Structure 1
Amino acid sequence: MLRWKTLVSRWKTFAIAALAGVAIVTGVWWAGPGILGLTAPAPGIVADATVTTPASCTGTNAMETVEFQQGGQSRTGNLDACGHDKGDRVQVTVPVDFGTGSGKVHLADVIQGHTDLRRPVGLALLALSCLGGGTYAFLVLRGPRREPALA
């Protein structure tokens, strides 16, 4: 009878830890990509650009000047990046409302066109950490195992 109560107590501990892990992973999934450090891609058009005026990364708010083609015309944009050399080719995201003059552009995602695995991998790692925490809680509550003494 005592063994049955111990077994039920262990399963309750495991069930609570498992439900807490499922709740955490579900909450993170519903919260969206921002909670794992991921952001939605900026709306705009991806274009190939050439760095015309590089910027050093030593200062704050470094801006490089890039030249790209949009609508068959050569355009100039201010890229919020640093460390490129003159003539480097980069992909930039041009805002839809760029206009005819110069404006601000951003670097496009480096793995554009491929499946973005950062979110599923982050969720899998979170689930594994919940499993590890639940296992640790189970082992702590179980206590040390006592081996029968040999006579």
Structure 2
Amino acid sequence: MAVRLSPVRWALILLVIGLAGVAAAGALWWPGGSSAEVRRVAATVVAPASCGGSDAYDRVEFKIDDETRTARLDGCGHQENEVVDIAIPADTSGDFMVQVADSAPVKVPFETRLAAMLVCLSGLAGGLYAHLLGRQTQATASADAV
């Protein structure tokens, strides 16, 4: 004979599962990175810099809205006339610095956050199921012993 859980205990278990689901959903829709949008364009290195100095920034030239601009590249050691993909910040007024596109921070994709939430919820459900099976086998073993 299996031991039955009281309605209060079931309510507590369901409350914990519900709160875990709400927390996982909140983590899913939480902003995944910087909100500033960046544009990716190809740039040409026009003034390479040696990596040994304190001002070790290459100068690059690129086009934005049919206008050719130059900016400092947050990096050094490139060859002159080398083409580099860069990330341009939203504000391009004045003298600004650009980054190599592969090193610029990006948002975590929605699919990745969804997959993480589903893995957490399935782990929680599997743990609850294992807990219930363990309690049932203990109750069955104690009932058989009597």
Query: What TM-score does the superposition give when structure 2 sets the normalisation length?
Result: 0.59
CA distance in 2, matches of 1:118, 1:80: 25
Q: Percent same amino acid at aligned positions?
A: 21
Residue range with higher mean Cα deviation, 137-146 or 23-32: 137-146
* CA distance in structure 2 between the partners assigned to 1:18 and 1:11 by the alignment: 11
Letter in 1 for 2:112: V
The count of corresponding residues between Structure 1 and Structure 2 is 135
Unaligned runs of 5+ in 1: 111-115
Query: 1:42 deviation in Å?
Result: 3.0
Give secondary structure in 1 for the equivalent of 2:4. helix
Q: For residues 8 and 40 of structure 1, what CA distance do their matches in structure 2 show?
A: 46
| Structure 2: segments with no counterpart, 5+ residues | none
Structure number with bigger Rg? 2
Q: Does 1:123 align with 2:114?
A: yes
| 1:108 Cα deviation from its structure 2 partner | 4.3
Aligned twin of 1:63: 57
Which residue of structure 1 lines up, in the alignment, with residue 23 of structure 2? 24
Tell me the TM-score normalized by structure 1.
Answer: 0.58
| SS of equivalent to 1:50 | strand
Aligned mates of 2:98, 2:77 — CA distance in 1:
16
Post-superposition shift, 1:73?
A: 4.5
Across the aligned residues of Structure 1 and Structure 2, the Cα RMSD in angstroms comes to 4.1
Equivalent residue for 1:40, pick from 35, 39, 54 = 35
| Alignment-mate amino acid for residue 122 of structure 1 | R
